[in-house]
Structure 1
Amino acid sequence: MNRVLHAEWTKVRTEPTARWLLPTIVVATVLVSLLAIAAASCEGGGCGLDPVALSLAGVQLGQAVVVMLAVLAIDGEQGTGLLRTTFTAAPRRMVVLAAKAVLTGGLTLAAGTVAVLGCVAAGRAILPGNGNGNGNGNGNAAPSLADGPTLRAVVGSVLYLVLIGLLALGVAAAIRDSAAAMGAVLALLYAVPLVAAAINDPELQRTLRRFAPMTAGLAVQATTDLDDLPIGPWAGLAVLAAWSGASLLLGALLLHHRDP
């Protein structure tokens, strides 16, 4: 396993695309959060928004870059024929997939931590000045890691990005085309919430949001009005973990039983 991990790490260090995708995760996430925070300016005492979830809004775009990183970790080799060489050098395909999962998860953890902390810092710096997060009596306060719900939202957002990466890696292992794999994951993340929003049946809408990977997983960011959520914060993250586990299992089975 150590030898395979070292080989995968060498690939990442020498792959230009992977090198620019990692900082892009940080830049895209923080930039979107800055735009969301700036757009939520309220005169005279808050808009009734969740300041922590607002500060972490950039995660919804940053996850798309994580998907790209995870898909290219395996399908990038498929397109160049390098995957066949990898399996020749390391015939135990499950070990190769496990090494890719560890590396993808670790890199996403590092980039996601920097990105999420940057979002929180932006929220602390900007929200009190535009009428949100100023302790105005409506339960709003600038994000602080000393606050339990905020810390849960921050840690949960980092874990969310890691799980999205593992979900995408599993799909990429199952689908041998980079564009198709990215399209499938992004549709699952972004299209399902749009379908749910278009449904008139409130109960069906709530059910879709409870079990869709993005809406369930992002429940971990909420710090206000928790009773109105379709699913609890940690339960929602567990739903996403189940999606990721199922994706990796499917990818492992297909990878094991077919030619590279």
Structure 2
Amino acid sequence: MTTPAITPARVLHSEWHKLWTVRSTWITVLASVGFLLGVGILMGATYTSDGGDSDVDTVILTLYGSQLGAICLAVLGILVTAGEYSTGLIRASLIAVPRRLPVLWAKATVFTGVVLTVSFVAALVTFLTAQLFLSDTDQAASLADEGVLAAIAGTAAGVTLLGLIALGLGAALRSVPGGIGAFIGGVMVLPEVLGMLPYDAVDTAIRYFPTQAAGALGSATPMETAASPGAALLALCLWAAATLIVPALLLKRRDV
């Protein structure tokens, strides 16, 4: 009996199956959607035109819950990689795929496809639902308005790339607590600390840090203190690539 050949499609199918057969995937995905939709409805239902928030971008206002959702999906990204090291399942995965790197790329590909799709659909539904409450206010908007659909897609892209960075951190550190700590401390807290320094060069550099770049992608109107959407997207892609290169190198050099 011949052993089935290891193909990219089979590795992808394996990672897809592993992703959806663990309870943590459903919990984190549903929590992410719940935060996004719940906060969006809350913002829409409680908004008043004389409340002082008329200068807030409409997409940012309705999708404010994406920040909480991004944390849930970042945890999922860490569990996708570091979770296998904690359970020992990674040994079976690497024995099945001796070249090793296809396992990492398959995990990243499946994660990206799932999170991008879920985030975009959830953001779209949240925006449209919130607009039911905002239709008679100064925050009323539609998908046909300039920049709105791009900002919704940008929000989904930002959340996805932040999750991909978390996935890379989990793969590099091979520890769920370590990955979560590195993501919260290095990706979310560090830019806020650096922002306290009184240097213009630091302020400019911070615009291209992951969370700040993701925020720039989710605005329908240009933000004076943020990077342009194109530059922000490029920065996020480079951050994600960098965090994936490290575990790729480690996979080639370490025994497991």
Taking structure 1 as the reference length, what is the TM-score of the superposition? 0.87
- Provide structure 1 residue ranges, at least 5 long, that are not aligned to the other structure: 134-141
1:7 and 2:14 correspond: yes
Offset, 1:192: 3.0
Matches within 5 A, 1:37-186: 37-38=44-45, 40-43=47-50, 47-129=54-136, 131-133=137-139, 142-186=140-184
Are positions 1:199 and 2:206 aligned together? no
Spell out, residue by residue over 1:40-96, the C-alpha distance to the aligned partner (whole angstroms, 9 max, x if none): 533289622211221121111111011111111111110111101110111121100
Cα distance, 1:40–1:209 mapped onto 2, change above 3 Å: farther
Output the amino acid matched with 2:212: T
Pairwise CA distance, 1:35? 3.5
SS at match of 1:57: coil
Structure 1 residues 125 and 205: CA distance shift in structure 2, 3 A: farther
Matched residue type, 1:212: F
Paired position in structure 2 for 1:245: 241
Letter in structure 1 aligned against 2:66? V
- Please, which moves more after superposition, 192-201 or 159-168? 192-201
Change over 3 Å in CA distance of 1:24–1:44 after alignment to 2: closer
Q: Which runs of 4+ in 1 moved over 6 A?
A: none
Deviations 1:102-127 (A, max 9, x none): 11011102211222112211331222
In structure 2, the residue matched to 1:139 is none
- Whole-Å Cα distance in 2 between the matches of residues 186 and 244 of structure 1? 15
Question: Judging changes above 3 Å, is the alpha-carbon distance between structure 1 residues 128 and 86 closer, same or farther for their aligned structure 2 residues?
Answer: same
Helix, strand or coil: the match of 2:50?
A: coil
How many residues were matched structurally? 249
After superposition, the Cα gap between the structure-2 partners of 1:193 and 1:57, relative to the gap in structure 1 and judged at 3 Å, is: farther
Read off the aligned partner of 1:173 and give its amino acid letter. Answer: A
Equivalent residue letter for 2:138: N
Query: Percent of counterpart pairs with the same letter?
Result: 34
| In structure 1, C-alpha distance between the alignment counterparts of 2:111 and 2:166, rounded to whole Å | 10
CA contact (8 A) 1:109 1:158 kept: yes
- The answer to whether the Cα contact below 8 Å between 2:213 and 2:236 also exists between their aligned partners in 1 is yes
1:213 — aligned with what? 210
Does structure 1 retain, via aligned residues, the 8 Å contact 2:43–2:130? Answer: no
The alpha carbon displacement at 1:164 in A equals: 1.4
TM-score, normalised via structure 2 length: 0.89
Return 5+ residue gaps in structure 2 as ranges: 1-7
Aligned 8 A contact 2:135 2:141 in 1: no
Instruction: Give SS of 1:259's match.
Output: coil
- CA 1:119–1:192: 2 relative to 1, 3 Å: farther
How far did 1:227 drift? Answer: 5.5
Separation in structure 1 between the aligned mates of residue 82 and residue 194 of structure 2, nearest angstrom: 30
1:51 & 1:147 partners in 2: Cα distance?
Answer: 11
Residues of 1 paired with 2:146 and 2:234: CA distance? 19
- The answer to whether the Cα contact below 8 Å between 2:131 and 2:141 also exists between their aligned partners in 1 is yes
- Which residue of the partner structure matches residue 136 of structure 1? none
